[in-house]
Amino acid sequence: MYRHMDETEIEIGRLSDLRMVHFYNLISKHDEVGAIAVYDDEDRQLNLCALDKHYDKLLEKVVTSYRTQDDRDLIVMDEETRTLLSAMLQEMPAADSSHFWGDVPDAKIQKTPQIDPGSYLDHMVIPILRYYIRELHHLFDLPLEWKYLTSSWHGRGMLEGVANETAIHMPYRIARWKNGEYEILIGNYLGKTHRLSIRIVFERLALRAYFSCPAFGLNGYSIYAISTRERVVKEKTSISVGGKVFYENADTLQAMKPDAREALFRKIGQEQLAGFFQTPPETTEVVEFPWGHHWVFSVADRFDDALQKQDVEVGYLVMEDRYNIIRKQSFSHIVGRKNKVELDARCACGDIFVRKDKASQLQIAFEDTGYGSFGSYKERYSGQYLIKEI
């Protein structure tokens, strides 16, 4: 399987020194969204809004170029754009700053992991995969119930289910393109030899799923996104068959009620919870996905005249019999009040594994989080493993 880069993505990669950047507010049908116009010293021009496919890539390219250029003052931009980019640089940690998550007492840094859950892809991706396949079957009035995942090996396996009292076997293959992005091929879709393709993307404030089956003319997407303004998770799903919209839905996921949230926190354990999140449990919001995983997130506001600044922590929580797995991200989120463009700074990201057997251990596998993660965090922790007995 090879990843295809379209023309826009290639042009973003080719951008060199910036000569003009303009962040502005675009009025869409339903909301105000941020947009970016860019011009570089090779006469390349790009103009994308937050609804476009590669907007995030363009935003990251602009921020990275702005941070690394020696002649930033020569870049033509309006006052609001320069204020936003300057604030992003101010929010960056100094080269000698401590880890954004704080210190982990009694932890050892290693280049190799001690905890190897083996079935990491199964725990993180398969529940999502099974949910969407079942829901797509239901749209075609074909009830489907899953059996236990019988076999898997390094992203390859077989899903077993029952539809109309008939056993169904679906072979699958998972390819991990980069941190948080997975491409899955499923065979024997709808009981035939058709192939269903699903792409799952874990982002800082969103989880996206795209699916297609050319044999049926089926295409669709489903997006779950955290609104840091409203402190809620919004879901939008659209599925088309033969070019016509077959199903569409927009909803807001309700946060867990206090008693259910407290029961979940007790199950995790207060000591572990304090190690996962720097904010008090009572200030966090918890949302349960339909496939059984949870989002745990908190947002702390800081305001000034031109910008809204937020300190955000997001944990994607998977609870299994032998392991707790948390994909945790912490960052400073900056929003321009006028241009509606959003930037992230002070980013830290990692996968936390907690082994529940007698040799209880906590392990953090740190990741490179891109333009917002330079400094001692990236130098000391990216690609390393932090091990602690608990």
pLDDT at 108 over 70: yes
Predicted pLDDT at 316: 92
Residue 386 pairs with which residues in a beta bridge?
109, 364
What does pTM read for this prediction?
0.78
Residue 359 pairs with which residues in a beta bridge?
none
91: which DSSP letter?
A: H
Average pLDDT (24-29) is 74
* Residue that the structure tokens 């076997």 belong to: 169
Chain centroid offset of residue 222 CA? 13
Say if residues 225 and 244 touch (Cβ distance below 8 Å).
no
Domains of the chain by residue range = 7-77, 108-117+255-389, 120-253
Distance CA 350, CA 333 (A): 18
Predicted pLDDT at 368: 56
Which residue, among 352, 355, 360, 359, has the nearest Cα to 386 in the 3D structure? 352
Which residue, among 363, 361, 364, 365, has the nearest Cα to 389 in the 3D structure? 361
Lowest mean pLDDT among 173-177, 226-230, 337-341: 337-341
Q: How sure is the predictor about 98, in pLDDT bands with cuts at 50, 70 and 90?
A: very low
Token couple for 367: 């990741």
Q: At what angle do helices 79-91 and 55-68 cross, to 10 degrees?
A: 80
Lowest mean pLDDT among 94-98, 129-133, 256-260: 94-98
pLDDT at 76 over 90: yes
